[in-house]
Amino acid sequence: MDAAALSMVLASAALHALWSVSIKGSRDPLVFNLIQTIAISGIALAWIPAVRLDEVPAAAWAVVAVTGVAHACYVYCLSRALAVADLSLVYPIARSTPAFLPFFAVPLLGEQLSAVGALGIAVVVGGMWLVNYAPDLSWRALLGPRTRFAYLTLGTTIAYGLLDKLGMELLDEAAWSGPLPRAGFYLLATSVSCLVFLVPLSWTRVSLGELRSVAREEGMRAFAAALVSLGSYGLILEALRSAPASYVVAARQSSVLFAVALSVVWLREQPGRVRVVGAFVTVVGVALIGLSR
């Protein structure tokens, strides 16, 4: 992964951590995320005139639709997980993607991992778990009923990580003349697709009264979080144009560093010595990924 791609991934990681902490600090994570998705979809529809839709390959539209399902399931499962469990319990599980993505990216996308890159991925995963370590983070807690949505979130991140790489490859090969970059179009299109599937998923758990109430109290914060999400996702999509998905997803797990820092300021958490060591280990892993070719 070159320096430009790594820089984009690290910036995306910082934004993703900010986004995650804002969700955890909301009154109702699912309603908060639904408001965010509605806001992003509104922005997307405003950009339609900036895209020549006839230049979008049919295969890319198919990927957008399937990715919308994956993203809707991701948002729903993450919201449910954060509603019942601490961020320090959910985050290490949900962000364990780099430990599993290579098993799919290598055979499905034909990616090649160097020995240094593979070592970097392993180190990032190890550091990620250490950063989120807590005395009560036992195997019983990890495998209990509170974490089932965290594991489902992990599955959705693997799915959309692969789909995003495929979608950007298809768009990168297509002719493009509109002012909106390919990554911007893909981001906005998948956001609308996500909303289409997220609404029925949330239908039985979100009332219109609750939606209006949270919108009044936290609407501006949700809109700001939506902009942060757009920035984070857009940077990742740009990185995926030139870097292997396995490396990109692994390096993005440096978000645990930023999440720890933000949790101290925002959620009043007090990270222990093990988390500090884990933060250092994660940095080492990201550096190894950046040095790999």
pLDDT at 121 over 80: no
pLDDT top residue among 272 and 10: 10
Residue 105 pLDDT: 63
Q: How confident is the model at residue 220 (pLDDT cuts 50, 70, 90)?
A: very high
Is 240 within 8 Å of 165 (Cβ atoms)?
A: yes
The model's pTM: 0.79
* Backbone phi, psi, residue 30, to 5°: -70, -45
Range of the domain at 10: 3-291
Tell me: the pLDDT tens digits for 69-92? 999 999 999 999 888 877 766 776
Residue 233 pLDDT: 81
Residue whose entry in the numeric block shows the structure tokens 């500090």: 276
Residue 277 pLDDT: 80
Burial of 205 (0-12, 13-18, 19+ CB in 10 A): middle
Query: What percent of the chain has pLDDT above 90?
Result: 27
Residue 7 pLDDT: 87
- What is the largest distance, in Å, between two alpha-carbon atoms of the chain? 55
Tell me: the pLDDT tens digits for 253-277? 777 778 777 777 777 766 667 767 8
The count of domains in the chain is 1
Residue 110 pLDDT: 67
Tell me: the pLDDT tens digits for 223-256? 999 999 888 888 887 887 777 776 776 777 777 7
Residue 139 pLDDT: 59
Residue 262 pLDDT: 79
Q: How confident is the model at residue 156 (pLDDT cuts 50, 70, 90)?
A: very high
